[in-house]
């Protein structure tokens, strides 16, 4: 099976490539803009690809002939999307149209990454058939992208996820575990919201979920997230406890304390029974995720 990964330089992309390289009878076709940042990748397995350029997508897909495409490339910084809506549209909608066209041409199955931010946060955790109603521009573009795929006529799976965390070499973006750890180690007070609920997702678990969808070419929408419903404040407390750090530096706050360009849905999180029962998906607990990150930092 030939699996093409877009956005392979990103957090999920790198975890996915590392996982796919361990699978028997899988040829990994890692693609991203710019030079490869993937340390584990064998020579000759990386291809430069700009998913916002349709000609480039058609050309590379035609050349590489993937059986499955896992589309992880996207503009995911929620506030940047709010402030730069045209860039966000190109990255999250036009790019998806291009990838769909590429899949159509080579008859490839598409595994597409989506988000809990297509929901308004009025209730949670959510099943796959919950009604979307995004409250920010990022969520709007991701919902439009889902509709593009569903209406396309190609073979597809959509993996919806929540608050992905993890680390890879050469990636500057932090995550809630390292952010809390570093601030508490430096005796800095941090304000953490306690009125938003999520099911945080370890990047390795999300990669596993994408692989299960790709391997089985399963049709439909699947919630692929962690299993623990937590507030960021609860997550911060668990990080402090694990690393034996002083939690008095953690201050409880509500969302109104923070001035952010994009509104956040208060309560999302996913019920993942469908992925567990149909795919054999088995994510780590948040506590286990902290342990995994701690080992990787060492």
pLDDT tens figures, 32-68: 999 999 989 998 999 999 999 999 999 999 999 999 9
Judge whether residue 88 has pLDDT over 90: yes
At residue 138 the predicted structure's pLDDT band, cuts being 50, 70 and 90, is very high
**Local confidence band at 275 (pLDDT 50, 70, 90 cut-offs):** very high
Q: Is the pLDDT of residue 196 over 80?
A: yes
Residue 170 has pLDDT above 80, yes or no: no
Distance between CA 135 and CA 47 in Å, rounded?
Answer: 36
Name which of 265, 275, 293, 77 is nearest 160 in CA terms.
Answer: 275
- As given in the structure block, the two tokens for residue 36 are 């490869």
Q: Any idea of the CA torsion for 44, 50, 54, 58, to the nearest 10 degrees?
A: 10
For the chain, the average pLDDT equals 97
227: Cα within 13 Å, side-chain hemisphere: 13
**Residue 172 pLDDT exceeds 80:** no
- Statement: residue 174 has pLDDT above 80: no
Mean pLDDT for 121-150 is 98
End-to-end CA, the chain: 35
List the domains of the chain with CATH numbers.
2-167+200-228+269-285 (3.40.50.720)
Mean pLDDT, residues 241-270: 96
CA proximity to 260, closest of 209, 191, 172: 191
Q: Is the pLDDT of residue 237 over 90?
A: yes
Q: How confident is the model at residue 86 (pLDDT cuts 50, 70, 90)?
A: very high
Q: Which pLDDT band, with edges at 50, 70 and 90, does 84 fall under?
A: very high
DSSP-derived 3-state class of residue 147: helix
Please tell me the distance from the alpha carbon of residue 179 to that of residue 268, in angstroms, as a whole number: 22
Burial class (CB in 10 A: 0-12, 13-18, 19+), 67: middle
Whole-angstrom CA distances from 293 to 30, 69, 155, 169, 286 are 24, 28, 35, 12, 11
């Amino acid at each position: 099976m030939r699996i093409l990964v877009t956005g392979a330089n990103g957090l999920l992309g790198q975890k996915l490539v590392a996982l796919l390289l361990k699978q028997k009878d899988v040829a990994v076709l890692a693609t991203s803009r710019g030079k490869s940042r993937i340390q584990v990748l064998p020579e000759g397995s990386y291809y430069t690809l700009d998913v916002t350029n349709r000609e480039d997508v058609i050309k590379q897909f035609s050349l590489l002939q993937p059986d499955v495409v896992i589309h992880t490339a996207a503009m995911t910084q929620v506030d940047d999307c709010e402030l730069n809506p045209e860039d966000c549209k190109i990255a999250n909608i036009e790019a998806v149209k291009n990838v769909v066209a590429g899949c159509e041409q080579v008859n490839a199955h598409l595994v597409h990454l989506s988000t809990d931010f297509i929901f308004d946060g009025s209730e949670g955790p959510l099943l796959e058939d919950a009604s979307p109603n995004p409250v920010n521009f990022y969520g709007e573009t991701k919902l439009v992208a889902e509709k593009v795929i569903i209406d396309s006529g190609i073979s597809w799976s959509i993996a919806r996820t929540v608050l992905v965390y993890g680390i890879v070499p050469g990636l500057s973006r932090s995550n809630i575990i390292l952010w809390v750890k570093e601030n508490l180690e430096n005796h800095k007070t941090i304000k953490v919201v306690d009125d938003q609920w999520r099911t945080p997702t370890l990047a390795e678990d999300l990669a596993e979920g994408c692989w299960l969808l790709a391997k089985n070419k399963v049709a439909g929408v699947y919630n692929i997230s962690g299993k623990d419903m937590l507030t960021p404040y609860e997550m911060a407390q668990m990080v402090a406890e694990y690393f034996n750090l002083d939690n008095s530096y953690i201050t409880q706050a509500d969302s109104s304390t923070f001035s952010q360009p994009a509104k956040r849905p208060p309560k999302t999180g996913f019920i993942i029974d469908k992925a567990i029962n149909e795919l054999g998906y088995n994510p780590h607990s948040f506590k286990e995720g902290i342990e995994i990150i701690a080992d990787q930092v060492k």
